[in-house]
A = this chain, B = another copy of it.
Amino acid sequence: MWMAELAEQSGLSVPTIKYYLREGLLPPGEAVGATRSRYDESHVRRLRLIRSLTDVAGLRLETVRQVLEDVDGATSWQRAVGSAHTRLTPPLEVEPTAEATAIVAEFLRRQRWPFPQGNPLPGALARAIDGIQCLGVEITGDLLDAYGDAMRGVAREEIRSLNTEDPQHAALQAVIGTLLLEPILATVRRMAQEQIVMATDRSRLS
């Protein structure tokens, strides 16, 4: 297909697509003559992915580029997931409090989840806990354990659904799964909350 059709199929404007080409986010098409190029389905898919990562996952274009580079160079889906997490967990600007750090350490011990030194997730979790506790809401070990137990099952089901034979394709799926399933899980969580709200509202009225 030509550029005009690529724009139509992807829902993006021609200047935006040309920008992604210049920035190397989108691989070039097949050159036909000096000024025209042909594109195919893989370009449409790539553009949709870029758009989802910016619009749904809310990533900045520079982060999208890094994530896509990791996927393109991934030798296994394990590496792709790990690097996507690292890209998405910005370095801490403020150190977490000792209290939150201890809460996270105890939680990880109870869950038997070892994390190597330098992994950014435990620090990120401690900072998120600080952010809520300063609003006067206490984060209990029971709540964290409920999260840990629930997410253990969720992650297992998510990873089971990966096609792990083709590492390149699995890497892409793993990154999509890590980033783009989050809004689906968040919506299901709100649904579950509303169901409990409705149930307690009914019991209050009866």
Contacts and interface: CB of A to CB of B under 8 A. Distances in A.
Contacts of A81: 193-194, 197
Given A131-B56, A183-B128, A157 B146 contact: yes
A154 B189 contact: yes
B150 A154 contact: yes
Output the residue of A49, A131, A204 with the most chain B CB within 10 A: A131
Find the residue from A81, A161, A185 having the highest chain B CB count within 10 A.
A185
A128 B143 CA distance: 27
Contacts of A122: 191
Interface residues of A, number: 76
Given A125-B191, A147-B154, A154-B146, A134 B178 contact: no
A45 to B, nearest CB: 6
Contacts of A147: 154, 184-185, 188
Interface stretch (A12-20, A24-32, A63-71, A113-121): A113-121
A153 B149 CA distance: 9
Contacts of A137: 173, 176-177, 180
Interface of A: 45, 48-49, 52, 56, 58, 76, 78, 81-82, 85, 88-89, 108, 113, 115, 119, 121-122, 124-125, 128-129, 131-132, 134-140, 142-144, 146-159, 161, 173, 176-178, 180-198, 200-201, 204
